[in-house]
Structure 1
Amino acid sequence: MVDGPVELIFPDIDLDGFWDDNEYAVREYVDAPPSAAVIASVEAELGYRLPASYVALMRAHNGGMPHRTCCPAPNRTTWARGHVAVHGIMGIGREKSCSLAGEFGSRFWIDEWGYPAIGVYFADCPSAGHDMIAFDYRDREPGGEPSVVHVDQEDDYRITVLAPDFVSFIQALRPEEDYDIGT
């Protein structure tokens, strides 16, 4: 379990420059830091304990749109060859439409779009719902954190592992310029 100050959990990430706090991001994603009661309530509603590293990042900045939006993928997706794009990362709460328990939160994608119930959908992609990023709890070690996966609705909900844990996922994010978008 990863625990401690967010700067120690993500030592190679410039946390001050990580988020793009544009008007849309602030309106739809960014919420106040979650209290212990809100975290427990959202976890109970979703049926999963959230990764400690994700909780730490959300306590520092609760949701939003990252500047680095591309994550390497081991194979081609319907989005691109070699990577997936991240639009926004949902915060812990219910107030913002793009929060874990908000209008377009994790349960929405499972209940309304038929995404597989493998864990918690925590990040959306620019495809308007045709692919999502999730914490996959199916094969995690007891007490361990879930892996981070891409679920591709356009390819019969194909699941591709992107990172063994949330810290590795955040560290893997790259700027769009690193990829020839559209290939």
Structure 2
Amino acid sequence: MEKKIFHDFDLTAFWKDSDYARKRYISEPLTDDLIAGIEQELGYKLPASYIELMHSQNGGIPVHNGFRTTEVTTWGGKHIEIAGILGLGRTKAYSVCGHSGSKFMIDDWGYPALGVYICTSPSAGHDMVLLDYSQCGKDGEPQVVHVDQESDYKVTFVAKDFETFVRGLTTLD
């Protein structure tokens, strides 16, 4: 029997509601054609857990914006912070194929092309969260890593997969 994604997790309480999120992050509702087109454009099969979360709301600002790590990061401790999660779309600035999306971060900011950048941070582009396909291939289950532009694009392991990342988001003290 296959485990259901987010089977005991309340996705209805996951997102913050704000005008800023609606204007910059939240893309149109998902369709199979949109998902297929985005995957083709990116060149990666997106994790089922990421698609499931985007079905609840296609991008936005989560209620909890921190994740504890095992390594010290430039955030001054063993954690990272995110500002938002990019939706699957092309029209919102903070969508994976939008103006400030994954391709932009690789082409214009010089981030390593290891997968799909999915989370912005409060540093305004100086660090990002990535679905890292470097170990699993373009059709595998990517791990989640933090990439720090200010530290020569240092990669820090965050979570074994996207669902683990979402479940581990917390409000930091």
- TM-score of Structure 1 vs Structure 2, range by shorter chain: over 0.9
- Residue in structure 1 matched with residue 56 of structure 2 by the alignment: 60
Q: How does 1:16-35 map to 2 (within 5 A)?
A: 16-35=12-31
- Residue in structure 2 matched with residue 87 of structure 1 by the alignment: 83
Q: How does 1:61-76 map to 2 (within 5 A)?
A: 61-76=57-72
Moved more, 96-105 or 14-23: 14-23
Q: How does 1:31-46 map to 2 (within 5 A)?
A: 31-46=27-42
Structure 1, gaps ≥5 residues long: none
Identical-residue share of aligned pairs (%): 48
Moved more, 86-95 or 142-151: 142-151
- Give the alignment's TM-score, normalised by structure 1: 0.89
- Give the alignment's TM-score, normalised by structure 2: 0.94
- Residue in structure 2 matched with residue 108 of structure 1 by the alignment: 104
Instruction: Specify the SS of the correspondent of 1:9.
Output: coil
- Residue in structure 2 matched with residue 175 of structure 1 by the alignment: 171
Q: How far is the alpha carbon of 1:109 from its aligned partner?
A: 0.3
Instruction: Specify the SS of the correspondent of 2:13.
Output: helix
Cα distance in 2 for partners of 1:127, 1:142 equals 28
Q: How far is the alpha carbon of 1:145 from its aligned partner?
A: 0.8
Q: How far is the alpha carbon of 1:13 from its aligned partner?
A: 2.6
Matched, 1:125 2:117: no
AA of the residue aligned to 1:150: H
- Residue in structure 2 matched with residue 145 of structure 1 by the alignment: 141
Structure 2, gaps ≥5 residues long: none
Deviations 1:53-81 (A, max 9, x none): 10111112100000100011111111230
Mark the CA change 1:105 to 1:141 in structure 2 (over 3 Å): closer, same or farther: closer
8 Å Cα contact 2:26-2:87 kept in structure 1: yes
Q: CA RMSD in A?
A: 1.6
Equivalenced residues, count: 172
